[in-house]
Amino acid sequence: MLDLIWLVPALPLAGFLILVAAGARLGEPRAGWVATAFTSASFVVTALVWISLLGRDAENRVFEKVLFDWLPAGNLRVEAGFLVDPLAITMALFVTFVSSLIHLYSVGYMHGDPKFSKFFVYLNLFVFSMLMLVLGNNLVLTFLGWEGVGACSYLLISFWHTRESAARAGKKAFITNRVGDWGFMLATFLIFTTLGTVTYTDIGALAPNLAGGTATAVSLLLLVAAAGKSAQLPLYVWLPDAMEGPTPVSALIHAATMVTAGVYLLSRMSPVLVHSDVSLRIIAVVGTATALFAALAATAQHDIKKVLAYSTVSQLGYMFLAVGSGAYVAALFHMITHAFFKALLFLGAGSVIHAMNDEQDMRYMGALRKVMPITGATFIVGWLAIAGVPPFAGFWSKDDILLAAWEMDGGGGLGKVLWAVGLFTALLTAYYMSRQVFMVFYGEAHWNEARPAPATDNDEVDLAEFEGPPETVTVEAHSEVHPHESPWTMWVPLVVLATGAALGGLLNLPVIGDWLFLERFLEPVFAGTMHHITAGTGTKLLLAAIATTGALIGIWFAAQVWLWRRVDGRKLEPRLLEDAFEVDAAYARFFGGPGRATAQLAADTDRVVVDGAVNGVAQGTRRLGFLLQPAQSGLVRQYAIGIAVGALGLATWLLIGAVA
Amino acid sequence: MIPVLGQVFTAPSIDWWALAPQLILLGAALLILVVSALLAERCPAWFSGVVALVAGAGVFVSGFYLWYDIRDSGPRSIVSGALSLDGFAVLFTLLVAVAVVMTVLVADAYLEREHMDSPEFHALLLLAATGAIVMASASDLIVLFLGLESLSIGLYVMAAMQFRREEAQEAAMKYFILGAFSSAFFLYGIAMVYGSTGSTGLAHARDYLNRLDTAIVDQPWMLMLGFALLLVGLAFKVAAVPFHFWAPDVYQGSPAPVSGFMASAAKAAGFAAMLRIFFVAFGQSRTDWSPVLGVLAVVTLVVGVVMAIIQTDLKRMIAFSSIAHAGYILVGVQAGTSEGTAAALFYLFSYSLMVLGTFAVISLVQWQDGQPLDRFEGLADRRPLIGFALTVFLLGQAGVPLTSGFIAKFLVIKAAVDERTWWLAIAAMVISAAGAYIYLRVIFAIWRRPGAVDEEGGEPVAAPVVPPASGFAILGAMAFTLVVGFVPQFLIEFARDAVPVLLG
Amino acid sequence: MDVTTGWYLVLGALLFIIGGVGLLIRRNPLVMLMCVELMLNGVNLTFVAFSRRLGDIAGQTVVFFVLVVAAAEVVVGLGLIVSIMRRRPDVTADDLKLLKG
């Protein structure tokens, strides 16, 4: 059974090839069904492999299958081979599972798109690359997948490239990711020159020989790589812009799978990371800072997908915090639950956008729960999961991470600080997600209200939003919107994912004795590199209670502002209303003053500093080009001067070398 | 035996079989010239093309024959030490043969469309190719110089073949003046080597340097001066900065198939000569030249990439990117190891196919006022397969995995890492990260809907006619790029087998 | 005063440099072509001088090859210049700047 592992990436590849050859001929919807079938088949094979892996002893669940020597370059041998171990198979399982569902969803979502079959071509290629990334048995093969998923990501972000913003977003993603790729390549070469191998099993065996400085260098380079792919500070800028892509792409690539590649890479290289406490701390700090920063930014968004994008960045920050705390299992646990609920939320958002005739501004939604019962109900499950309300999945995984941060060894109280920030971020998470749910699914319908004249700036926190949609002159008469529930291909995945988001916690449930399935399964991979929780049950329960309280405060706060103030209950419950009003006013003051400044700062940092850096590099390069351009003057005699000067230079250098 | 002035002159025994590639090319070129001159108007239009194609294919086959011959009976020196017959020479023979075949296939329809004289074009192409092969196999500097000149003179004329276009005239003129200028430097370098070692043979220079340690050698500086001047001539040929200025102007002004030939065969011949001179003659003083080449490589990379980014004309952009690729190859060369050299050979082979393919696609779209990038918008929509092929070539040049370009970049950078020249490896990686943007811009443009252009008032690209010969060449190059990306082993082995003669 | 081969070498080098500088400062394409010829002849002289000093005939045969190559270059160069001049009679090297940037 284990030998069949090559089928796992081969099936999506076959789908890709078939669609390349005959996609246009198959047309809609058959091209979509073919793609879905191949991806689902890949999931089935993965599950079979997983079951036979479970049949082995816990210590013996590593299997390597080498297909052929891919790059035999002298002392460096790079094989094309697969490494099947609990970590890889866990990744492969949830990647193929979520991918199959999103393929199915896309059949409905992309209905009527002129490039229907091309979309599935890219999607299948993506699944193939992602599986190569997680199943490859060495760094170079992972890099191959890494580049592949990146390429698919750019292609899909700018899928609607007639939209100028989409093309620009694709380029931005590309440029930012090159920084990360550079870190990856450098780390690979450094590993190779010091350990003489790039194969994971050998790295694991030889890592103890690494000098501390080298381990730190490798770890930090890997962090650069991971920060690029997983959208961490300061390389996260591309992810919010990536929402220009079709929504299933946002769900699959920019929420559930590709962006977790960085976390996977760091987990895979844990034998190296463990030798560098410094870099582990840096990883934890970067993750926490990203989590907080992105959560702040999310509170100020109006675009339904942008909220989710910043939320993804924030949740990825949690995973980095977990990795930095040595809690790899918690990181993977959160990765899986996050894949469920975030894919669910994105697909739900897609369903809403679909129903609202491509409207993405939440201020023009509201009360959708009634017309879209299934989307509404599943979205609410996703919301409770991400907000960390027990017993939904997100609660358990987030709790594990916060516990690990609390216990982070050494660091002089750093762990406690990170825990506190993480907790505050959890509160913010509950707040902004509740805000979204209330704005979209509750309250009154604002579907056909007039739009303000200038396009609303998503980065700006405007006090006007408290007065409901701003009343300004209408510039475009929107056609009447009549929201409706989406077709079955779209809601079935929602229901399946909602089940996952609700029950995902079972994977690693701490309460029922020694269940902890995921931890037991993954433990052998991280033996010796993982931090083991030492806290007693009392501490655990206390921390869990604090986290839950935080989440509830966030939801309550949001409800005060976004839900109940819309109920016209001034006369019925004056006191409560007054309170609400005060909260409202306090909130308005807060956001008018320091809060607004903070959120604005976050938004500005995004736009000016980080965007600026990315654009700055591009600009700088161009400027250097224009600086050099006069040399290419077209005058042949100046060219000859170049040759003469070059000849003099070479002669001088070599003569000095010869004499000295 | 013929008595000459009292001395007995023994004509060198010549292994004619070993000269087969050069003889085939030369013979075909003469055949084309004679037949087309004698028959004039009655000469069928297809004649010269077919002869050139057959000649290219014949060289390819004879190259394989020689490869196995060398494997059986070992490398040897032919024509009394003027040329060497070894794996290294054969590798470049095959590369030149591929370039000739590709160029002939692509030029077929191009010549007709642009009203160019095909017999002259083909004869010059074959003569230039002969020069390239001679350069790669020369073991004497004077022979090398002759090869260099036959290659260059052929290319000067080919650049000017659209003699009614002002750009073509200008390109040819610039190429000619600068080429002659740098050849003079190269020749002076030969004179210096001759003066200090007493011979123009490469092996003599090596023996001379070997004696340096033991015996007193009067003027090592003269040898090093000669070496520097030789480097000038070859750096010009491969378009390394600051000897690169001609390349963008010439590539842009020349007919697209000719630009492709310059960027592949001519560049490869320059590198072949460089490798042979450096390793065979100056292998001893590797520590002297390695840092020089390293600096040259970085400057070349930076200028090539930075200038390519600001270009708006596709041909010019590819010209600057071709300069950058010379920089990568130099990274492999400067390592001075067998691995680095093999990496450089691998790079040359895979890059040549990619750039030939790129120029083949460009040659399908001819505009009176150049090849501005926006004219290529929507190419992929009109001709999906051609668009896909161009995407593959561009991704390959950007060094994206699963293309030959990735393996090539990986190997040269690894060679630098192996030698612990970290600064160079890091620089090359950073620049490759930035450089990918160049190709991305083009890919975005060709996949963009042509509608975007309509709105701005420009005229959208008409679906270019794809003649079967060009299509065949483009698909062949694409297949090669992808296959080598997936299973690079055979080409790596091939490149590695070709190296040892240099180090022996 | 003995005129050693060294003198010829210096003369050859001077010719080479004069040719090189001439190419850099003159604008007339024809004169530039002649400057290249001057450089090549400087090299020729150097070869002959070395040949004499080393007592080796090879250096003198090289000169024949160089002469042939130079002749071929002149043919091509003159052809190019004529084809350009036919269209623009007073063209100088600095007027050829259509291609730049």
DSSP string for residues in A493-532: HHHHHHHHHHHGGGGG-SSSTT--HHHHHHGGGGTTTSPP
Range with top average pLDDT, A253-257, A616-620, C31-35: C31-35
Poorest-pLDDT segment among A335-339, A488-492, A572-576, C17-21: A572-576
Helix, coil or strand: residue A581 = helix
**In whole angstroms, what is the distance from residue A245 CA to residue A165 CA?**
10
In chain C, what residues touch A633 (CB-CB under 8 Å)? 97, 100
pLDDT mean over B157-181: 90
Alpha carbon of C1: minimum distance to chain B alpha carbons (Å): 24
Angle at B479 between CA B67 and CA B338, to 5 degrees: 45
SS3 content of chain B, % helix, strand, coil (to 5): 80, 5, 20
Decide if pLDDT at B367 tops 80: no
Q: Which residue has the higher pLDDT, A610 or B10?
A: B10
C35, C43, C97, C98: best mutation site toward chain A, by most A Cβ within 10 Å?
A: C97
Query: Considering CB atoms only, which of C93, C100, C101 is closest to A637?
Result: C93
For A628, which residue in chain C has the nearest alpha carbon? C101
Within the 154-173 window of chain B, which residues sit less than 8 Å (CB to CB) from chain C? 156-157, 160, 163, 166-167, 169-173
Q: Do A181 and B433 make contact, defined as CB atoms within 8 angstroms?
A: yes
Peptide bond into A469 cis (omega under 30): no
Taking residues A47-53, report their average pLDDT.
Answer: 89
Predicted TM-score (pTM) of this structure? 0.78
Q: A637 vs C94: CB contact, 8 Å cut-off?
A: yes
Phi/psi for A469 (5° steps) reads -55, 130
User: Do residues A115 and A360 lie in contact, with contact meaning Cβ atoms separated by under 8 Å?
Assistant: no
Selected for mutation to probe chain B from C76, C81, C85 (highest B CB count within 10 Å) is: C76
How large is the average pLDDT for residues A156-176?
75
Q: What is the pLDDT, as a whole number, of residue B352?
A: 96
Name the token pair of A328: 């790899």
- Judging contacts by C-beta atoms under 8 Å, the chain C residues touching residue A635 are 93-94, 96-97, 100
- Interface list for C 35-74 with A (CB within 8 A): none
Cβ proximity of B168 and C84 under 8 Å: no
Interface mutation target, options B287, B310, B330, B337, chain A, most CBs of A under 10 Å: B310
Cβ neighbours of residue B402 closer than 8 Å, sequence gap 6 or more: A144, A148, B482, B485, B486
Domain containing C72 equals 5-99
For residue A571, pLDDT beyond 50: no
Which residues of chain B are within 8 Å of residue A646 when distances are taken between CB atoms? Answer: 232, 235, 242-243
Which of C21, C24, C96 should be substituted to probe chain A, the one whose Cβ sees the most A Cβ atoms within 10 Å?
C24
Residue linked to tokens 């001893």: B284
Q: Is the omega angle on the peptide bond into residue A234 within 30 degrees of 0, that is, cis? A: yes
Q: Is C23 on the interface with A (CB under 8 A)?
A: yes
Minimal C-alpha gap between A646 and chain B (Å): 6
pLDDT tier, A582 (very low <50, low <70, confident <90, very high otherwise): very low
Q: Which of the residue ranges A522-526, B317-321, B500-504 has the most confident prediction, judged by mean pLDDT?
A: B317-321
Q: What is the pLDDT of residue B456?
A: 44
Contacts of B200 in chain C (CB under 8 A): 58, 62
Contact between C97 and A637 using a beta-carbon 8 Å cutoff = no
Nearest CA to A422 among A522, A302, A319, A308? Answer: A319
Looking at chain C, how many residues does it have?
101
A208: preceding bond cis by omega (within 30 degrees): no
Q: How many domains does chain C have?
A: 1
Residues of C in contact with B183 (CB under 8 A): 73
Residues of A in contact with C20 (CB under 8 A): 644
**Rounded mean pLDDT of chain B?**
87
- List chains adjacent to chain C, taking adjacency as at least 3 C-beta pairs closer than 8 Å: A, B
Query: pLDDT per residue over C17-65, tens digit each?
Result: 999 999 999 989 999 999 999 999 999 999 999 999 888 888 999 999 9
Compute the nearest-CA separation of C58 from chain B (Å): 8
Asked if the bond preceding A72 is cis, omega within 30° of 0, the reply is no
Q: How far is CA A398 from the centre of its chain?
A: 16
Coil vs helix vs strand at A71: strand
DSSP helix/strand/coil, A472? coil
- Give the tens place of pLDDT for each residue, B43-57: 888 889 999 999 999
The partner residues of A646 in beta bridges, in order of sequence, read none
Kindly list the residues from chain A whose CB atom is less than 8 angstroms away from the CB atom of residue B309.
621-622, 625
Q: CB-based contact (8 Å) between A648 and chain B?
A: no
Which of A629, A635, A641 lies at the smallest CB-CB distance from C101? A629
Whether B199 and chain C come into contact, CB under 8 Å, resolves to yes
Question: What pLDDT, on the 0 to 100 scale, is given for residue C36?
Answer: 94
Tell me, what's the ipTM? 0.96
| Residue A462 confidence class, pLDDT cut points 50, 70, 90 | very low
How far apart are the CA of B378 and the nearest CA of chain A, in angstroms? 11
In this structure, what CATH number is given to the domain that contains residue C28?
1.10.287.3510
**Closest residue on chain A to C99 (Cα):** A634
Chain C closest CA to A656's CA: distance in Å? 20
